[in-house]
Amino acid sequence: MNYTIAIYGAPCSSQAPDTAYNFVQALLARGHGVYRLFFYMDGVQNASTLATPPQDEVNIPQRWAELIREHQLDAVVCVAAALRRGLLDEGEASRHEKPASNVTEPFTISGLGQLVEAGIESDRLITFGP
């Protein structure tokens, strides 16, 4: 079956991203397809390259990036939610004249329409969080 996973929780303050991560791993292990990971609301924080938790804690953004690369998943971050929270890729940082960016591949910044489109194309859409 083809799944889309919507993640609404931030890694440092919500259990949702970790639960979503485990769920995605279980899906892949069982041979299901993942159509898209969509990061929305506080979930956009999962895409930050600058998250620096203490060494004895899990670095959830880094773990997402590894999983996404390994399985070549489509990982989309909602642009409106991301900009509000200071999550910008190079293009957005330059467009808004900001001094830094903190979103890079394997994450893509795009619109909320990508969540709806994924809902149309997937067999299942599961929301985690906040």
Query: Contact positions toward other proteins, by CB under 8 A?
Result: 6, 8, 40-41, 80-81, 84, 111-113, 115-117, 119-121, 125, 127, 129-130
In the bound state with other proteins, the residue whose beta carbon lies nearer, of 73 and 125, is 125
> What type of residue sits at position 88?
L
Q: Which of 78, 79, 81, 125 is catalytic?
A: 78
Q: Which is nearer to other proteins, 11 or 106 (CB)?
A: 11
Name residue 34's amino acid.
Answer: V
Alpha-carbon distance of 130 to 126, in angstroms, equals: 13
Q: Is 78 a catalytic residue?
A: yes
Other CB atoms within 10 Å distance of the CB of residue 23: 16
Place of tokens 């892949």: 28
Residue type, 84: R
Give the residue with the Cβ less far from other proteins, 13 or 104.
13
CB of 47 to other proteins, least distance (A): 16
The conformation of residue 100, written as its DSSP 8-state character, comes to -
Q: At its nearest, how many Å lie between other proteins and the CB of residue 92?
A: 18
Nearest CA among 38, 36, 31 for reference residue 9: 38
Tell me the closest approach of the beta carbon of residue 19 to other proteins, in angstroms. Answer: 13
Residues with catalytic roles? 78
